[in-house]
Amino acid sequence: MQEPKSGMTTDNSGPRTVNRREMLIQALMAAVVLPQAFGQRGEWGGKQRRTVDPSQIPAYKFKTLPVSRFPEMQAEYAKVLAGSQFTNAKAFRDETAKLSFKLPADFTGARSVVVVAAFTKSMYVNFNLNGSQLRVLVPPQYYADDTGARMKTIVQNEIVKNKTSRIVDVSKSTPLKLLAARSGLGQYARNNLIFVDGMGSYLLLYAFLTDYNFGEDSWTQLSVMNRCNHCDRCARSCPTSCISETGFPITIDKCVTLYNERPGAFPNWMMRSSHNALMGCIRCQDSCPEDGGYSSVNGTLEDISAEETQQILKGISNDVLLKTLQRKLKQFPGTQSKEAFPILARNLSVLTRA
């Protein structure tokens, strides 16, 4: 095994158990800090997938760091963005360029950052079509519940525990995965996701600045889950083979998510069978032994009627339909405007033919 780069260490003690709720940005940024080869292709070793008791899954977990660590993380982040191995995909580069570890101009007095992982289950929605129901997966980052709205209050009351301290949400502007890894909240995996003990990778990350001083520094060397050195299930299940069987980073340009979040036709090389969700892709999580059990904890959104389904497939949008779909699909991105609606129509259409 090659010596890890960028301060990365491999934890041999065993595995510890994307708003930038947008797709790829927080879901794939592990590629900016992982070594090119950290293990060899292998099987999982025949162990059974874990089972979990949903009542035992924590609602959230958190870590804190002093903001004095920001310059170091900013330098690390900037170095990789400028590196030759970073993707040339313009859409991805444009999004990652917006992120930084810089304090807001109106909060230079921040002293700590709180990074939170909130367990978030996948949802399913039934589209009524031709007398039957098409059950479609909606991954955690593509619907809105009240977690995000409540998180600032949770940080204020349950973590900082000081109602006079200022709390500022910087989740949309911060490289959340690198922050989570450096704080010790989670570990990277072969599929480039962050895994947190007790919730696998079924989570959303949040970051909050505060002028409260926690008096501790949980700075951690970056590490990959030990199991990933002996397992390549995510690589073998990836529908477009964008996950490496031998190392990092993933080939972002081949990731289904890069294409089904944005308007336009899918590439000719992408097979219809590659599509498995209303947006994004969840094959690597569904196949991961570390996510076993967590992937089975899901919910169901309100059914989409036959008339509504037909309107979507025909690309017919109006204010009444959009408002209805926003409610039923809990603010799914493709329902947010008439401009975004064609993404929903295209994605649903390909799933009906997959």
Query: Can you give the pLDDT at residue 125?
Result: 98
State whether residue 314 is helix, strand or coil: coil
202's enclosing H/E stretch is none
Environment class of 15 (CB within 10 Å of its CB; exposed 0-12, middle 13-18, buried 19+): middle
> What are the residues whose beta carbons fall under 8 Å from the beta carbon of 40, sequence distance 6 or more?
1, 229, 246
Query: Can you give the pLDDT at residue 291?
Result: 93
Q: Cα–Cα distance between 196 and 115 in angstroms, integer?
A: 12
Query: Can you give the pLDDT at residue 48?
Result: 57
Q: Cα–Cα distance between 60 and 155 in angstroms, integer?
A: 11
Environment class of 195 (CB within 10 Å of its CB; exposed 0-12, middle 13-18, buried 19+): buried
User: How are beta strands 122-129 and 187-188 bridged, if at all?
Assistant: unpaired
| Residue that has been written with the tokens 């978030």 in this structure | 120
Query: Can you give the pLDDT at residue 301?
Result: 98
Query: Can you give the pLDDT at residue 312?
Result: 98
Token duo for residue 7: 């301060």
Mean pLDDT (10-residue bins), the chain, 354 residues? 32 34 41 41 49 91 98 92 79 87 97 98 97 97 91 97 97 96 95 94 97 95 88 95 82 92 95 96 95 92 98 96 98 97 98 88
Q: Cα–Cα distance between 86 and 89 in angstroms, integer?
A: 9
Buried b (16+ CB within 10 A) or exposed e, 110-128: bebbbbbbbbbbbbebbbb
Token duo for residue 145: 């519940």
The H-assigned helical ranges of the chain are 23-28, 70-81, 90-96, 147-154, 176-183, 233-237, 256-260, 283-287, 306-313, 319-328, 341-353
Query: Can you give the pLDDT at residue 140?
Result: 94
Q: Are 51 and 234 in contact (CB under 8 A)?
A: no
DSSP 304: B
Query: Can you give the pLDDT at residue 9?
Result: 37
Environment class of 73 (CB within 10 Å of its CB; exposed 0-12, middle 13-18, buried 19+): buried
Query: Can you give the pLDDT at residue 50?
Result: 66
